[in-house]
Amino acid sequence: MAKIGNIDVGDFPLLLAPMEDVSDPPFRALCKEQGADVVYTEFISSEGLIRDAAKSVMKLDIYEKERPVGIQIFGANLESMLQSVEIVEKSGPDIIDINFGCPVKKVVSKGAGAGILKDIPLMVSLTEAMVKHTNLPITVKTRLGWDSDSIKIVEVAERLQDVGASAISIHGRTRVQMYKGEANWAPIAEVKNNPRMHIPVFGNGDVDTPEKAMEMRDKFGLDGAMIGRASIGYPWFFREVKHYFETGEHLAQPTMEERLDAARRHLQMAIDWKGEKLGVFETRRHYTNYFKGIPHFKDYRQKMVTSDDAADVFAAFDEVEKEFAGYEFV
Ligand SMILES: Cc1cc2nc3c(=O)[nH]c(=O)nc-3n(C[C@H](O)[C@H](O)[C@H](O)COP(=O)(O)O)c2cc1C
């Protein structure tokens, strides 16, 4: 049974990865319904939070129904990170996660995200200070290292544990790799096999089939799987993995009815949360996957992703319901 601080997260938990513009409250709620054991917000800038930038502050919203939920923050300045911890605490998350893995230039160039992999002492001291500054569990999400010549993740993970991190999620790529190539889980298994490690070690990167999740558990011996891209527009991935673990069989894909229900609720929750304009805009990226595989679907998808008006998108869902009722996804 894995535990993050005092929070019981079950046996081999499935974690929804933090994803910018994806892991928002509506999407997290849908993933939770479909079996995600822990969900994380997208990364939130500590500098934005302390400036009270509206966009950053809005990202702090959480729904009761998605717990346990972790709020992820990034930054490289100690004072800003500590102030952010205080701001984040007010939203009542169960966990605070530090992003030490984001590879994008604008983050890395400020020494934040994966940029900190070039300064391990700072990574450790920031984590320690944050742990001391809050009673909430602090978790860390990071990558294997800066590049293939600097993979010291076993030592780094142990040091983060020793200063009080409650769990670590490791994406099996270096910063230099960005998202290229295949994720390498072997170094993550080395972290887990370190006899001194006692906090949960979660694996991340390329888990896109139930078999891969099982491999992460049984072959690599990790404590849980963090899932990102496979869930975009497909929150059912979590239940499919769980079903496979329980039965060794693949669950049938969600029906048209379930997909339409998810799409409608997703859009409605997004509108309720951030208003029609943004709600319509930000749910668009999910529709391709919600309705993937349906032949001659282009016109319907086009309506869903180009209309600025929620009523038009809902009307497109109604048309799909009429046209494709009972369609079997294989
Ligand atoms: C659209 C998108 C946005 C992401 N945003 C974040 C983020 O805000 N914070 C973070 O730690 N990782 C972020 N990531 C990285 C994912 O959390 C994850 O580490 C990566 O996608 C690998 O896992 P996967 O193969 O299961 O997708 C993002 C990834 C994607 C695809």
Mean pLDDT taken over the chain: 97
- Residue 229 alpha carbon to ligand 1 centre in Å: 7
Catalytic residue among 88, 102, 153, 304: 102
pLDDT (tens digit per residue) in 75-113? 999 999 999 999 999 999 999 999 999 999 999 999 999
- The average pLDDT across 161-177 equals 98
At 103 the pLDDT is 97
Q: How many CB atoms lie within 10 A of CB 28?
A: 25
**What distance in Å separates the CA atoms of residue 141 and residue 11, rounded to the nearest whole number?**
20
The pLDDT confidence band at residue 269, using thresholds 50, 70 and 90, is: very high
Distance of alpha carbon 149 from the chain centroid = 27
At 55 the pLDDT is 85
pLDDT (tens digit per residue) in 127-168? 999 999 999 999 999 999 999 999 999 999 999 999 999 999
Q: Is 228 annotated as a binding residue?
A: yes
The pLDDT confidence band at residue 330, using thresholds 50, 70 and 90, is: confident
Q: Is 34 annotated as a binding residue?
A: no
At 53 the pLDDT is 87
Is 31 annotated in the active site?
Answer: no
Torsion region of 296: left, alpha or beta (phi above 0 gives left; psi -120 to 50 gives alpha): left
- The average pLDDT across 47-63 equals 92
At 127 the pLDDT is 98
Q: Please list every protein residue whose CB sits less than 6 Å from any atom of ligand 1.
A: 17-20, 22, 42-43, 72, 99, 101-102, 141, 171, 204-207, 227-230
Token pair 């180009």 is found at 306
